[in-house]
Amino acid sequence: MTSVCPECACPYDGNLLCCPECGCPNERVDDQKKAALRRQAIEELTELSQTKEQLAEIETDAAMAKDNHDTARSLLRSLKRVFTRCDNFRGRSRRSEFWTFIAFNVVVSVILYIMLFSSIGRDYITISEANSDEEYWHRLINSCLSNHLFITLLIMGYLLLISLPLLSVTVRRLHDTNRSGLWVLLGIVPFFIAEPLGISPYIGLLFLAIMLLLDSAPSNKYGKLLRVKES
């Protein structure tokens, strides 16, 4: 490729940086260099943008992992507090502590329920053909104790394990709303008097759940209102 100098009209090799006669810069080479530099700059900017996106993704993943880890630690702390304070019926328990324990037990109960009825299997066809509720429960209990003793003992052991912590944390949650722990009887008494009165035995549980959903009351005779920042 040959270039012609615009100053002296001398032809020369187009790859040279300047005219060998007068030293005039070769504009063709300058344009090529500029285009190459632009392409290089664009490539570097693209790589930089991709690197920033990758770093942002890494930071987001790290933040999510930290949040998940902190949440898991917070849940474990709440469960630990409930079990270690199972004999304490005097203090207070925050709303988050109580409902964390309830949610945990709901999950475990569903798993045990699935395990039980998966174990019973075909026996449940015979059980479900009972003519009354009393006969249904008689057949179910008989089947569990006769043919599925292990899973039955597992469920009974779990219910015994959580009964005291559940009662104590419910009483403390009521204290946290500035109510007497005796209100816990709302979840028990209706099951004994509902049938004669012609009402649902679950009405008491409904009112009790509303109380347990209320926010903490200010410091009262059951203790101070502590707002502890989880670390």
Sign of the dihedral defined by the CA atoms of residues 7, 12, 15, 20, in that order:
negative
How deeply is 47 buried, as exposed, middle or buried, from its count of CB atoms within 10 A (0-12, 13-18, 19+)? exposed
> What are 88-145's pLDDT values in tens digits?
898 888 888 899 999 999 999 999 988 888 888 777 778 888 888 888 888 888 888 8
What is the rounded CA–CA span in Å between residue 104 and residue 113?
14
What is the rounded CA–CA span in Å between residue 214 and residue 57?
39
CA 200 to chain centre: 34
| The pLDDT value given to residue 229 | 46
Mean pLDDT of the residues in the chain: 80
Q: Which residues of the chain have pLDDT under 50?
A: 229-231
What is the rounded CA–CA span in Å between residue 26 and residue 32?
10
What is the rounded CA–CA span in Å between residue 54 and residue 46?
12
- The domain limits of the chain are 2-53, 85-213
Q: Going along 7-132, which residue ranges are E strands?
A: 11-13
